[in-house]
Amino acid sequence: MQRHGNQLLYSPSDLGNFVACEHLSQLELAVALGQSTRPTVSNAYLDLIKRKGEEHETAFLEGIRSEGHEIVEIGLTEDRGFAAAAEGTEAAMRFGAKYIYQAVFLADCWHGIADFLERIDRPSALGDWSYQVLDTKLARHPRPEHALQLCFYSHALQHIQGTAPEMACVVLGTRDRFPIRLANVAAYFRRLNRRFADAIVARVQPAPYPCEHCQMCSYQSICGERWEREDHLVRVAGIRRDQVNRLTIGGLTTLTALAQARPDTRVPKIPAATFEGLHDQAALQLETQRDGKIAYRELPVEDGRGFAALPQRSKGDVILDLEGHPFFEPARGLTFLFGVLTLDQQGPRYRPFWAHDFAGERRAFEEFIDFVHARLRDYPDLHVYHYGAYEQSALKQLMGLYATREDEVDDLLRRKIFRQSTQYFSSIPESRRSELFAESARAAFRLHANRHRAFGYGRDC
């Protein structure tokens, strides 16, 4: 969102931000109007995504160039603004270039840059050809905001070539083309456009609410300070947005109000048991905030649930942690470390299985599975404890990807060898637990630091 003179210019990214968080749109509008400033924050994750996205786009460009196709590059330069670049895009379309790279569009108060336009054999006002949009995205699956961008570019194309494109494509990080039939999403695009325009004119000020976009938002600290200042209900751990709305309607508008409410308070559309859990959580957080130390309450033991469902500890128990590089290649990531912690007579021992490429990933996977089965011969009652569901899923994916150790992994799954590590550590006395965490953390940190420096993983992780 930018201001040029008395006019505001919007981009497809602004529409995507509006879908993710309407509060974000108002923050960006205030910056564009000069009423506030955008926070300057460093975000290594965003920098990584941007760099990998540029590499993916460049790889696609070089791919079509190597095939001998004619490519006209437009883009923006220091001496050429959007209007001149848009004219250059239209000229390239009328010339009939096979591909137009960094095509610039300017329509009313909207502007944007499409990654690629591809000429197709479909008559239009240009001649015997017309164009459709190709947009490169690092994602491995298409998302709604991708379709919105394609709708804008395709709508701008229609004004030039006189014919509405039927299709547009997202070139995913897997290098696959995902076609989108524009007629299926055009109505949603038009409706969203109207909602966005109405919100900008009305200067609607919705309250901020945590969402998936927060981790990539430069305004995150501002919203966090506001939640703290207002003692907002979103600060209650585990609370959902619909529960916040229902509690607010019921007169409980802050964490403190919820914590101090009578336990038998009834809020419409919130079951009594759910309210009790939210109330107890808020009360614990308020107590922690006031006393400066973590407050907790022990829950009653229930047969067959929670810790009561845990197996007996074994001397052969293994704690597993996986470290991955999600953007090792656009097509897929790399599990570069299988970290294993064991508790033998000599004390905690940390053993890494490293991978620096896909061949190494396969080898590390096989070595880890073989390690577990060899240890099972000495400790038939052992379990492999891990953080969450991801580790099991990753092992299954690697087994299928490389078509190796199928019987061994199947055996581990059938015997229910895998367990969550949080359960394991909770079964260890607190004094020993702290010591164990410290020892294993030191060993893991030394190995991670040395390998990151030697192989450059630290730049991307």
Averaged over 341-346, what is the pLDDT? 82
Q: How confident is the model at residue 331 (pLDDT cuts 50, 70, 90)?
A: confident
Runs of H (alpha helix) within 2-43: 12-20, 22-32
Range of the domain at 238: 231-291
DSSP track, 377-418: HH-TT--EEESSHHHHHHHHHHHHHHT-SHHHHHHHHHTT-E
**Residue 3 — pLDDT band, cuts 50, 70, 90?**
confident
pLDDT at 455 over 50: no
In a domain, 305, yes or no: no
Encoded tokens for 414: 């059938």
Query: Can you read off the two tokens belonging to residue 258?
Result: 């919820």
Are 258 and 391 in a shared domain? no
Residue 33 lies in a domain: no
Q: Is residue 213 part of a domain?
A: no
Say if residues 104 and 85 touch (Cβ distance below 8 Å): yes
238 lies in the same domain as 351? no
Residues 274 and 394 in one domain: no
Residue 459 pLDDT = 38
Do 371 and 261 share a structural domain? Answer: no
**pLDDT one-digit tens code per residue, 213-232:** 998 899 999 999 999 999 99
The answer on 271 and 148 residing in a single domain is no
Same domain, 255 and 326: no
Q: What pLDDT is stored for residue 139 in this prediction?
A: 85
> In this structure, is the dihedral angle defined by the CA atoms of residues 153, 156, 157 and 158, taken in order, positive or negative?
positive
Lowest mean pLDDT among 23-27, 68-72, 443-447: 443-447
328 and 282, same domain (yes or no): no
Shared domain for 450 and 319, answered yes or no, is yes
Phi, psi of 422 (to 5 degrees): -60, -35
User: How confident is the model at residue 429, as a pLDDT?
Assistant: 52
Question: How much is the pTM?
Answer: 0.76
Q: pLDDT averaged over the chain?
A: 87
In sequence order, the β-bridge partners of residue 121 are none
Q: Can you give the pLDDT at residue 142?
A: 86
Each residue's pLDDT tens digit, 93-122: 999 999 999 999 988 889 999 999 999 999
Tens digits of residue pLDDT in 134-172: 999 988 888 888 898 999 999 999 999 999 999 999 999
Average pLDDT over residues 51-67: 92
284 and 332 in a single domain? The answer is: no
Residues 110 and 176 in one domain: yes
